[in-house]
């Protein structure tokens, strides 16, 4: 299965940010992720696209951590696309920032630290938990088919935004 024509026009804007082999792997992973049921992992995506028996399936895992592409450039392109599509000329934008703690343990997780756990903390008591702190930035828009406002994420990072 390959993506349909309308989505290809949108995705083509991101193709220059990747090398040709990485772009092919990204398209395979995207297709498999859309088809997967349950957890959307690299393995589930490969299973859905029939690549789970490939002898070099580990190269698909490397797309997310070793391939040459810039998540920051991808975020800029996505923000530009969101603004062109949903923000009217002369209109203002609302950007929201959310912080989420992913509780993780293990010796190989180098960026793990102790952070304030907002799920377990209250006004009276502050609790810290070990894990990775994810920062999500999103643009808040009103979509044409609903009056409800939606936050469309364009940047996700485990790094600190401010030091």
Q: What is the tens place of the pLDDT at every residue in 25-37?
A: 999 998 899 888 8
Give the global pTM: 0.70
Claim to verify: residue 78 and residue 56 sit in the same structural domain: no
* pLDDT of res. 159: 59
- For CA atoms 64, 65, 67, 69, the dihedral sign is positive
Q: Is it the case that residue 137 has pLDDT exceeding 50?
A: yes
Based on the fold, state whether residues 28 and 82 are members of the same structural domain: no
Taking alpha carbons only, the member of 143, 136, 137 closest to residue 87 is 143
Asked if the structure places residue 163 within a domain, the reply is: no
Same domain (yes/no): 100, 77: yes
pLDDT confidence of residue 3: 57
Q: Same domain for 84 and 51?
A: no
Do 150 and 108 lie in one domain? The reply is yes
Which of 62, 80, 98 terminates a domain? The answer is 62
> Does 126 lie in the same domain as 79?
yes
Q: What is the pLDDT of residues 77-135, one digit of tens each?
A: 999 998 888 877 667 788 999 888 777 767 766 667 777 777 778 889 888 877 777 88
56 and 125 in a single domain? The answer is: no
What range defines the domain where residue 23 resides?
5-62
**CA 23 – CA 119 distance, rounded (Å):** 38
In a domain, 162, yes or no: no
The mean pLDDT of 45-73, rounded to a whole number, is 83
């Amino acid at each position: 299965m390959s993506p349909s024509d309308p989505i290809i026009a949108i995705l083509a804007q991101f193709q220059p940010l990747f090398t040709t082999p990485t772009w092919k792997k990204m398209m395979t992973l995207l297709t498999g992720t859309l088809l997967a049921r349950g957890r959307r992992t690299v393995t589930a995506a490969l299973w859905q696209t029939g690549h789970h028996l490939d002898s070099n399936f580990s190269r698909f895992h490397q797309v997310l951590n070793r391939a040459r592409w810039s998540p920051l450039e991808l975020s800029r392109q996505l923000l530009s696309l969101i603004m062109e599509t949903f923000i009217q000329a002369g209109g203002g934008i609302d950007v929201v920032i959310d912080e989420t703690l992913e509780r993780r343990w293990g010796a190989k997780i180098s960026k793990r630290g102790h952070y304030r756990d907002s799920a377990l903390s209250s006004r009276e008591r502050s609790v810290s938990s070990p894990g990775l702190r994810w920062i999500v930035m999103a643009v808040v828009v009103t979509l044409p088919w609903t009056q409800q406002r939606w936050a469309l994420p364009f940047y996700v990072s485990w790094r600190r935004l401010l030091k």
